[in-house]
Amino acid sequence: MKNYSITREKAAITLGVSTRTIDRYVKSGKLSYKKIANKVLLARDEIEALQEEFSSLRTEVTSELIHEATPSNQPTTTNPVAVRADLDQAIDEKIEKFFLIFKEKDKMIEEKNKIIFMLQQRIGELETKIQSMIALPDYNKEKQAMILEKQKLEEKVTVLKDAIKTEKMKSFILVVLALIFIGIAVFLLFRYNIIS
């Protein structure tokens, strides 16, 4: 049975690579993982095997004959396809993140609307009872208690409506940020001639 005890960050430090490289190894199936409490843990033996593989590759590279580089007048250019792939991946990740945030906010707003609806129903019931009560001393106490309960429920409705307004404003700000991010990404794609 594999021992899943190494975090992505620790594996990246051990292997001398970035956490994105670790993520790529996980996605490609080169490394297996186990998710525990929203934390990705990697198999210790697989990390050690990769570490040995990396160290043997490094020793092979250092033992090979190295030729001197001849200076060239050609400017070095980055591979536009690779740059575009990285940008596309970053854009996809950001868009996916924004959609998840929006779904969560929609759920929160929907739940608050349900609570408001139930509270308003209760307020209506209390108003009906208050109006139908006879003005007797025993009923006056009960009427006062119902009026107080109604006022408290109305305050809760007001607080929830304010919370919904705040959530909607946050959602609007997130949409604006998403559009700005996408605009910058498109600008960079055009700037570096990645999009023809």
Domain positions in the chain are 4-60, 80-191
Give the residue with greater pLDDT, 110 vs 6.
6
CB 42, CB 33: distance < 8 Å:
yes
pLDDT digits (tens, 9 = 90+) for 37-65: 888 899 999 988 888 877 766 554 444 44
CA 147 – CA 141 distance, rounded (Å): 10
Angle of helix 8-15 relative to helix 19-28, nearest 10 degrees?
110
CATH number of 4-60, picked from 1.10.1660, 1.20.58, 1.20.1070, 1.10.405: 1.10.1660
Report the percentage of the chain scoring pLDDT > 90.
1
pTM of the model: 0.36
Residue 194, pLDDT > 80, answer no
